[in-house]
Amino acid sequence: MNDIILVVTVGSILGMFAGLVPGIGIFASLIMIYPFLLTLTPMETIFLYIALACATQYFGSVTAIYFGVPGESSSLPAVIEGHALYGQGRAHEAIVFSSIGSFLGSFIGVAFFCLLAFMLSGFFPTSLQQFIALAVIGFASTILIKNSIRAKILMFVIPLLIAHLGMPGMSVIPQFNFGFDFVKYGIHYFPFILGLICAKQIMFADTVIPSNAQKNKANPLDFLRYKLSFIRGSVVGGFGGMVPGLTTMASSNFSYSLEKRMSENHHDKSMRCLVSAETANNVGSITQLVPLLLFGLPITASETVLYNVVQSKGWLPGSDNFWNVLSIGWPVLLVANLMMLLLSWRYAWTLTKVIPKNGTMFKTMMLVICACLSYYVGDLIAKEGLKFLIIFLLCLPFAAMSKNTNYMPLAFWLVIGENLLDNFYRLIFQLY
């Protein structure tokens, strides 16, 4: 239990940082602590991820409301409506209501999850079902995420070619190492995603322009005025969280669009939209784990990394595992969510002080840390530090030249490629 408390605390603090600082989202922060993840048990890793995902949603909206800059990709409705409320002098009210929505939303998410786990208990996908599901998830996220057609095709083809490199010699799958020693056992995904996604997010992170604090004046009971927005956000968020590739972004944007339409002529439209979107993204941050924890089907790039890590520790998906996770962790998650609610309620403005003022220096420092990290992780997992560093450095120019390209689908295919091919070749050569 102590270990769970420790990892939830680490996940919450990290999530707070990831939410507040533009450019460091869930994915980047997960990659930055990759060496730490390798030291945790599967259960601890899952808890750290849940705490990280929840905390990011709480604090992403703080940066969005105060500065009009999205702390997290799902904070876009908070940028539009929340920052408008800031302009009306209602920033604290906006933060408190979105935090209450996030708090309650987390538990609606857990309830949603329990219901699905109960209904789908004992179901194991076959290789064919798993292959189709992974392919559909991969293609859906590739298509849904905004990129040029050429980029979309390359992001699917290149990772699958890389996944073929050096497939295990004793398998039935053909080997593709072309006599090169450095691809004998394939190429790990870590330096690619560190270089193409994390480094790019850091390079192009928005800069925060200082603004003024506003006095506290929110009455929490006023949240009841937005109960219908909260309910709508919960339902939409629950399903939106399971949209491949988009998850919390889909949750918050779908519920925002719905709420906007439903509150067309309402005098308090902005607050209603904000509450709905912020509730939805927290519900979504929990329900996005349904396919992963129950069937081993990751639906976002960060989940593929999580899956890869927990799988390497002998963890297997299934509803039994889920009940174990829940029975041990629910009190810790409750306390962690309560703490985040209180922190964002009372100290939101104070916490914004962690956002670095000197953007260029911060970005340079983070890129140097990424370079060191690529070497360290390479050395740690396969004594291939130099190889990892070279790949990371080679990825940097591509990251710098492609500001408008979203590399998340590439990360998804890179991490999931080996699993996908394993299922594919088993189906082709052995099962049928």
Binding residues (CB under 8 A) for another protein: these are 41, 124-129, 168-172, 185, 296, 311-314, 316, 380-383, 422, 426, 430-431
Alpha carbons 146 and 143: distance in angstroms, whole number? 7
Greatest CA separation found in the chain? Answer: 69
Alpha carbons 359 and 395: distance in angstroms, whole number? 22
CB of 381 to another protein, least distance (A): 7
Q: Rounded to the nearest 5°, which phi and psi values hold at 165? A: -60, 125
Which residue number, 94 or 325, has a Cβ lying nearer to another protein? 325
DSSP string for 240-254: HTTSTTTTHHHHHHH
CB 301 within 8 A of CB 408: yes
CB of 182 to another protein, least distance (A): 13
CB of 122 to another protein, least distance (A): 8
Type of residue found at 330: W
Alpha carbons 133 and 295: distance in angstroms, whole number? 10
Q: Which of helix, strand or coil describes residue 318?
A: coil
Which residue number, 38 or 111, has a Cβ lying nearer to another protein? 38
Q: Which of helix, strand or coil describes residue 176?
A: strand
Which residue number, 210 or 314, has a Cβ lying nearer to another protein? 314
Alpha carbons 201 and 30: distance in angstroms, whole number? 13
CB of 378 to another protein, least distance (A): 12
Q: Which of helix, strand or coil describes residue 165?
A: strand
CB of 383 to another protein, least distance (A): 4
CB of 142 to another protein, least distance (A): 25
CB of 129 to another protein, least distance (A): 7
Which residue number, 153 or 316, has a Cβ lying nearer to another protein? 316
Which residue number, 131 or 226, has a Cβ lying nearer to another protein? 131
Considering only CA atoms, which of 79, 80, 71 is closest in space to residue 19? 71
Q: Name the DSSP class of 209.
A: P
How far out from the chain centre does Cα 330 lie? 20
Rounded to a whole number of angstroms, the distance between the first and last alpha carbons of the chain is 46
- Tokens (6 digits) for 305: 């990394």
CB of 177 to another protein, least distance (A): 12
Classify burial at 128, counting beta carbons within 10 Å of its beta carbon; exposed 0-12, middle 13-18, buried 19 or more. Answer: middle
CB of 310 to another protein, least distance (A): 10
Which residue number, 144 or 160, has a Cβ lying nearer to another protein? 160
Which residue number, 107 or 185, has a Cβ lying nearer to another protein? 185
Alpha carbons 99 and 279: distance in angstroms, whole number? 8
Which residue number, 303 or 422, has a Cβ lying nearer to another protein? 422
Residues 6+ apart with CB under 8 A from 190: 31, 34, 374, 377, 378, 381, 388
Which residue number, 181 or 264, has a Cβ lying nearer to another protein? 181
CB of 47 to another protein, least distance (A): 16
Which residue number, 171 or 350, has a Cβ lying nearer to another protein? 171
Alpha carbons 375 and 379: distance in angstroms, whole number? 6
